[in-house]
Amino acid sequence: MAAKNAQGSRKAAPKKRKRPPLDSAARFEQILKRARNLENFSLCLYITGTTPRSTEAIANVRTLCEEYLPGRYELKVVDIYQQPQMAAGDQIIAAPTLIKSLPAPPRRIIGNLSSRDRVLVGLNLKPKRPDQAAKALHWVEL
């Protein structure tokens, strides 16, 4: 559409630049991937004293967090012998149990956490592979 200038003559409207078509799904996936990389994780590990199983669970969680979440996690270790009220409040029925409260969705992983792939899937740090669907991870959504 042409517009009139101050002298009354018509001047051509500026040409609009054509943008390449936007793949909104791909763009959305990129945004989600970046957001996942910036999220802070809130984890709570319930253990029973200084047993070898508890010690192994602590070492496994710390190793995974330092490798996959450096500087982006808060890990609280709770001994259910010393703080039974916290275990009762979170309805802990087995130990060791790792609870991920942030980012959503909350998850619980029970065991010594030695299966790295299963823990990573449970924490949403690694996508589940179809060939591992039969080897289900023992987690419960809250």
Check which CATH number belongs to the domain holding 57 and give it.
Answer: 3.40.30.10
Cα 99 to Cα 112, 118, 119, 124, 125: the distances in Å are 13, 14, 11, 13, 15
Residue 40 within a domain: yes
Domain count of the chain?
Answer: 1
| Confidence (pTM) | 0.62
CB 108 within 8 A of CB 101: no
CB 41 within 8 A of CB 123: yes
Residue range(s) defining the domain that contains residue 64:
28-141
pLDDT in tens, the chain (142 residues): 555 555 666 666 666 666 666 677 777 777 666 655 567 889 999 999 889 999 999 999 999 989 888 888 899 999 999 988 988 888 888 888 899 888 888 888 888 888 888 888 888 877 655 554 445 445 555 5
Burial of 103 (0-12, 13-18, 19+ CB in 10 A): middle
Q: Pairing mode, if any, of strands 10-11 and 3-4?
A: antiparallel
Residue 93 within a domain: yes
Q: Pairing mode, if any, of strands 107-110 and 97-102?
A: antiparallel
Residue 133 within a domain: yes
pLDDT at 12: 65
Residue 15 within a domain: no
Residue 3 within a domain: no
pLDDT at 137: 47
pLDDT at 95: 83
3-state secondary structure of 79: strand
